[in-house]
């Protein structure tokens, strides 16, 4: 079993800093991942959301094991539970927990198909992976038109550095 105490303490610190969406990296062992999720959920305050990001690490049956174990935990969103869109969509049909797609969103055609199926709750658009601001804006517009919630992130270049120059 996984020692969840440090993860729970970390989530408590993040909450005190004003964060309301707590991201957990999961996607290895669905049973241990569920234990971690439940431990964090037990400490959650009203309005907190838990984003369990599996990075496509589970097969469909493993994702189902995780879903079954956390079914009563409020406020849990599952990001990219499986590698394939079809498995993520199938999982979305079998749970009330929101499914957020991430790694599988890489072009307008894929996004359009996903939005047509209406089996995911949100998408996470990462500007660099998608190919820049223009493509991300097109995807954002498509999500807005479809009424799909989204996160827009830029993971690379998140820090601004200033270096002095010697003359």
DSSP assigned state of 58 = B
For residues 139 and 1, what is the distance between their CA atoms, to the nearest angstrom?
A: 40
Structure tokens of 77? 């969103």
By DSSP bridging, strand 149-153 and strand 122-126 are parallel
CB 114 within 8 A of CB 86: no
Residue 153: partners with Cβ closer than 8 Å, 6 or more residues away: 124, 125, 126, 127
Structure tokens of 134? 């223009």
Q: Please provide the size of the chain in residues.
A: 167
Residue numbers annotated as active site: 25, 126
């Amino acid at each position: 079993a996984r020692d969840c105490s440090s993860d729970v303490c970390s989530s408590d610190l993040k909450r005190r800093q004003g964060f309301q969406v707590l991201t957990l990296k999961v996607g290895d062992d669905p049973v241990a991942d569920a234990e971690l999720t439940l431990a964090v959920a037990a400490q959650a305050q009203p309005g907190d959301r838990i984003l369990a990001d599996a990075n496509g690490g589970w097969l469909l049956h493993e994702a189902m094991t995780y879903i079954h174990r956390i079914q009563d935990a409020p406020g849990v969103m599952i990001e990219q539970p499986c590698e394939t869109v079809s498995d993520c969509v199938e999982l979305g049909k079998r749970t009330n927990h929101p499914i957020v797609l991430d790694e599988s969103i890489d072009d307008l055609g894929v996004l359009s198909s996903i939005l047509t199926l209406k089996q995911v709750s949100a998408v996470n658009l990462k500007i660099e992976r998608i190919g820049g601001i223009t493509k991300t804006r097109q995807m954002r517009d498509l999500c807005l038109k479809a009424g799909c919630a989204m996160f827009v992130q830029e993971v690379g270049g998140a820090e601004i550095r200033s270096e002095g120059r010697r003359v």
